[in-house]
Amino acid sequence: MKKKVLVSVIVPVYKGGKYIQGILDSVLKSRILDFEILVVDDGTNKEDKKILASYEKEKRVRIIDLNGNYGPARARNVGVRKSFGKYIFFLDVDTKVKIDVFKIGVSFFERNESVGVIQARLLREDGKIDTAGHFLSFLGFPYEIGVGEEKSKHGEERLIFGARSAGMMIKRKAFLRAGGFDEDYLIYGEETDLCWRVWLAGYEVFYVPSLEIWHFGKSSMGKETRVRVAYEGAKNNLNYLLKNGSGKMLWWMIPGHVLGWLVLGFKFLPEGRWKMSWGVARGLFWNCLNIFKTIKKRRMLKKQRKKNTEVEKYIFGDLGFWDLLVKGFSWFKHV
- For 275-312, how does the pLDDT look when each residue is reduced to its tens digit (9 = 90+)? 999 999 999 999 999 999 999 999 988 876 666 567 87
Asked if residue 309 belongs to a domain, the reply is no
Q: What is the pLDDT of residue 120?
A: 96
Q: Which of 215, 232, 249 is the endpoint of a domain?
A: 215
Q: What is the CATH number of the domain that holds 58?
A: 3.90.550.10
Average pLDDT, the chain: 91
pLDDT of residue 222: 65
Confirm if 197 and 301 have CB atoms less than 8 A apart. yes
Residue 313: what pLDDT?
A: 80
- Is 158 in the same domain as 209? yes
19 & 125 share domain: yes
Is 329 a member of any domain? no
- Residue 204 scores a pLDDT above 80: yes
Q: Is residue 209 domain-shared with residue 260, that is, in the same domain?
A: no
CA geometry: angle at 330 spanning 324 and 335, to 5°? 125
Length of the chain: 335
Q: Is the dihedral of CA 237, 242, 244, 247 positive or negative?
A: positive
**CA distance linking residue 312 with residue 303, whole number of Å:** 19
**pLDDT given at position 17:** 83
Could you say which of 179, 196, 215 is where a domain stops? 215
Give residue 9's domain range: 5-215
As for how many domains the chain has, the answer is 2
How many Å apart are CA 302 and CA 299, to the nearest integer?
5
Mean pLDDT of all residues in 99-128:
95
143 is a domain residue = yes
Residue 304 pLDDT = 67
Last residue of a domain, one of 188, 215, 242: 215
Spell out the residues 6+ positions from residue 276 whose beta carbon is closer than 8 angstroms to its own: 226, 227, 230, 265, 268
pLDDT of residue 112: 96
**63 shares its domain with 149:** yes
Q: Say whether both 140 and 283 belong to one domain.
A: no
Q: Are residues 243 and 152 in the same domain?
A: no
pLDDT at residue 146 greater than cutoff 70? yes
What integer pLDDT is reported at residue 173 of this predicted model? 96
Residues in a beta bridge with 95? 215
Same domain, 32 and 123: yes
- What residue type is assigned to position 333 of the chain? K
